[in-house]
């Protein structure tokens, strides 16, 4: 089992980081908070804590900059009806600290706004994970990540946001419409902020 991968970040988008270690390039699925933490680190050494999902038909690798983020991801997947894709969607809609607080305070209404996560599943997450989430120590972990990493051109933000939403399973036309609406209201928003808001609109 891989605990972490440490190497040079050779490629990055909101859904995936490619890290080269010992001559091997690893395509690692990431969440939006991890993407934000990695922005600006291209061609530099990074370290991602890894969760591997190995089945007969797939071998998926998910990476996180903080152990507690990985712990939350793995806890989410212990809940009936929550797979890796849904867990990543949830953790892209909220920071790890926000998610922990939603679970701890029983805020299923806010959580159920995530695509594919109905009220019943949101409530099940809270019931199953409340005690475990409260016990997670997030002191000193980079889970409350900064939102401002510099702003690319508006067209670049739109292309990257729509691309990420499409990879998450949303229709391109609907994604483009949502992103346009968000950027029209505030053209200075970062890619991560646009994607977060779109996830709650689509």
The pLDDT assigned to 152 comes to 36
Please report how many Cα atoms fall inside a 13 Å half-sphere around the Cα of residue 172, on the Cβ side.
3
Residue 144 has pLDDT above 90, yes or no: no
**Closest among 146, 154, 110, 132 to 36, alpha carbons compared:** 146
Residues 11-18: contacts with CB within 8 Å, 24+ apart?
11/42, 12/38, 12/39, 12/41, 12/42, 13/160, 13/163, 13/164, 14/160, 14/161, 14/163, 14/164, 14/191, 14/192, 14/195, 15/163, 15/164, 15/167, 15/168, 17/46, 17/48, 17/63
The pLDDT assigned to 34 comes to 92
pLDDT band at 97 (very low <50, low <70, confident <90, very high): confident
φ, ψ (nearest 5 deg) of residue 26:
-100, 120
Residue 41 has pLDDT above 70, yes or no: yes
Residue 145 has pLDDT above 50, yes or no: no
Which whole number is the average pLDDT over 7-32?
94
Q: What whole-number distance in Å separates Cα of residue 144 and Cα of residue 123?
A: 24
Residue 83 has pLDDT above 70, yes or no: yes
The pLDDT assigned to 155 comes to 52
Structure tokens at 133: 């989430």
Residue 137 has pLDDT above 70, yes or no: no
pTM of the entire predicted model: 0.73
Structure tokens at 53: 């999902």
For residue range 85-96, list pLDDT tens digits in order.
999 989 988 888
For residue 189, the tally of other CB atoms under 10 A from its CB is 20
CA 74, distance to chain mean position in Å, is: 13
**Mean pLDDT for all residues in the chain:** 84
**Closest among 73, 90, 84, 76 to 125, alpha carbons compared:** 76
Domains in the chain with CATH codes: 4-64 (2.40.50.140), 68-135 (1.10.150.20), 154-199 (1.10.8)
């Amino acid at each position: 089992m891989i605990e972490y991968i440490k190497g040079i970040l050779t490629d990055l988008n909101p859904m995936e980081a490619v890290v080269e270690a010992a001559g091997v390039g690893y395509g690692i699925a990431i969440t939006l908070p991890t993407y934000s933490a990695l922005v600006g680190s291209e061609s530099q050494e990074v370290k991602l804590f890894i969760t591997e999902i190995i089945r007969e038909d797939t071998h998926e690798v998910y990476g996180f900059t903080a152990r507690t983020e990985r712990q939350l991801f793995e806890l989410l997947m212990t809940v009936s009806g929550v797979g890796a894709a849904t867990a990543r969607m949830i953790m892209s809609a909220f920071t790890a600290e926000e998610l922990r607080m939603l679970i701890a305070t029983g805020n299923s209404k806010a959580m159920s706004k995530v695509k594919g996560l109905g009220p019943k599943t949101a409530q099940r997450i809270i019931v199953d994970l409340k005690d475990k989430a409260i016990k997670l120590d997030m002191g000193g972990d980079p889970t409350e990540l900064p939102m401002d990493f510099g702003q690319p051109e508006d067209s670049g933000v739109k292309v990257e946001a729509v691309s990420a939403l499409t990879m998450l399973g949303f229709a391109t036309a609907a994604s483009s419409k949502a992103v346009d609406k968000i950027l029209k209201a505030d053209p200075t928003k970062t890619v991560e902020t646009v994607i977060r808001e779109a996830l709650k609109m689509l």
